[in-house]
Amino acid sequence: MTSPGTTDAARAAVATARARPGTVAPASTPTARDDSASGARLATSARRHLLSVADLGRDGILEVLHLADSFAEVTERDIPKVPALRGRTVATLFFESSTRTRLSFETAAKRLSADTMTFTASTSSLSKGESLRDTVETIDAMGVDAMVVRHASAGAPHRVAGWVRASVVNAGDGQHEHPTQALLDCYTIREALARRRSGDAPDDFAGLRVAVVGDIRHSRVARSNVLALSALGAEVTLVAPATLLPPSLEGWPANVSNELDPVLAETDVVYLLRMQSERMQGTFVPSLREYAARFGLSRERAARLAPDALVMHPGPMNRGVEIDAEVLEGSSALVTRQVHNGVPVRMAVLFLLLGAAPGGLAAPEAPR
């Protein structure tokens, strides 16, 4: 998703609506898709899909974060909307439950003036036996430009990307990846560091020590975050009992600790993960109570963190298991900010994939 033109184009899209604060630009107003009047270069994203953080690399991650800065400003306006994706259609296809990711993508698409379509697996023809391929090809045939796909099977969005003309965004595939969660988490850390240092948001996380704590084995968020944080230079430590670590840590650029307490004092960011019981086959901890006693961020443990340490969780949370309610109320907890930042970050992702004029992206492959 790296292209020099996209940031210019996004700035033009944002500036268009800024010219008349609180208004949505009329149809004739220059947008990111009309470089003749705005002087912006058309977005020419080299990438059609966002399937994995690994596809982005450091430059691609930073491109999203920088663009999200522009869209964050849009989300603060009285009418938080720009015409950047007017005429494009974004479909959310969630084959697994979601509250924040789905609503966040739909909000992001609407704030870019895209039309949205919502597919709900339980009320679809899947219940009549229709296959995943027939389902997505049917939706593709309606002329959608992007499909935001969540599926319980790792690799499902990759398969979908091979079948459709639309751009595909992975919104969580099984235990594999959740790229936009990692992007919004990096954005949130960057924003918090800027606030604490009273300076510009840093692009380099060198020296930042992040502990990712909990059910790493079943977490797609953990994998995407380790890839994104390490790409930006952070030092990541996975903290979990051996049973909740992946069977192989090859390809995970991270240290490992089987205890939380020794790590606490040396941590700048504690990132807590939910116990993914829906993906567990068998018993991985003796009891939730015992897990909470060893790995939960209690008030007592939180008091041992450095005063400016940050506390994060992707949600949904099990209060009293991975985190205590009182810790969530403290100023170090960024959980609500993570949700808030999901919208501009997903606006940036959608814009980077769709922001060019139709046909302006890398030529779509014919569906197989």
Q: Which is nearer to ligand MLT, 48 or 220 (CB)?
A: 220
Q: Does 47 qualify as catalytic in the annotation?
A: no
Q: Does 223 qualify as catalytic in the annotation?
A: no
Catalytic residue (choose from 49, 151, 176, 178): 178
The answer to the question of residue 178 lying near ligand MLT (CB under 6 A) is: yes
Q: How far apart are CA 149 and CA 338, in angstroms?
A: 20
Catalytic residue (choose from 11, 100, 165, 337): 100
Q: Which is nearer to ligand MLT, 33 or 220 (CB)?
A: 220
Q: How far apart are CA 312 and CA 310, in angstroms?
A: 7
What's the chain's Rg over C-alpha atoms? Answer: 21
The answer to the question of residue 314 lying near ligand MLT (CB under 6 A) is: yes
Residue of 227, 248, 246 lying closest to 236 (CA atoms): 227
Q: Which residue is nearest to ligand MLT (CB)?
A: 274
The answer to the question of residue 181 lying near ligand MLT (CB under 6 A) is: yes
Q: Which is nearer to ligand MLT, 205 or 271 (CB)?
A: 271
Answer yes or no: are the C-beta atoms of 313 and 185 closer than 8 Å: no
**Burial readout 270-300 (b: 16 or more C-beta within 10 A, e: otherwise):** bbbbbbbeeeeeeebbeeeeebbeebbbbee
Give the DSSP per-residue string, 40-53: PPPP--S-S-B--G
Residue of 10, 171, 9, 24 lying closest to 105 (CA atoms): 171
Nearest-10 crossing angle of helices 4-18, 335-354: 110
Residue type, 362: A
Q: Which is nearer to ligand MLT, 52 or 181 (CB)?
A: 181
Answer yes or no: are the C-beta atoms of 162 and 181 closer than 8 Å: no
Give the DSSP per-residue string, 254-280: -EEES-SHHHHTT-SEEEE----GGG-
Q: Which is nearer to ligand MLT, 185 or 324 (CB)?
A: 185
The answer to the question of residue 172 lying near ligand MLT (CB under 6 A) is: yes
CB of 171 to ligand MLT, least distance (A): 8
> How do beta strands 167-173 and 235-239 pair?
unpaired
Catalytic residue (choose from 6, 16, 89, 101): 101
Q: Does 128 qualify as catalytic in the annotation?
A: yes
Which residues are CB-contacts of 262 (< 8 A; sequence separation ≥ 6)? none
Catalytic residue (choose from 48, 150, 209, 220): 150
CB of 179 to ligand MLT, least distance (A): 11
Which residues, numbered 185-224, are part of the site for ligand MLT (CB under 6 A)? 220-221
Q: Does 77 qualify as catalytic in the annotation?
A: no
CB of 81 to ligand MLT, least distance (A): 26
CB atoms near residue 43 (< 10 Å): 29
Q: Does 150 qualify as catalytic in the annotation?
A: yes
CB of 98 to ligand MLT, least distance (A): 6
Per-residue binder mask for ligand MLT (CB under 6 A), 267-306, x = binder: -------x-x------------------------------
Q: How far apart are CA 186 and CA 65, in angstroms?
A: 8
CB of 276 to ligand MLT, least distance (A): 6
Size of the site for ligand MLT (CB under 6 A): 8
Q: How far apart are CA 24 and CA 133, in angstroms?
A: 37
CB of 1 to ligand MLT, least distance (A): 21
Q: Which is nearer to ligand MLT, 192 or 221 (CB)?
A: 221
Q: Which is nearer to ligand MLT, 179 or 355 (CB)?
A: 179
Positive or negative, the CA dihedral 294, 211, 249, 349 is: positive
Per-residue binder mask for ligand MLT (CB under 6 A), 114-153, x = binder: ----------------------------------------
Q: Which is nearer to ligand MLT, 288 or 357 (CB)?
A: 288
CB of 256 to ligand MLT, least distance (A): 20
By the criterion CB under 6 A, which residues form the site for ligand MLT? Answer: 172, 178, 181, 220-221, 274, 276, 314
Which residues are the active-site residues?
100-101, 128, 150, 178
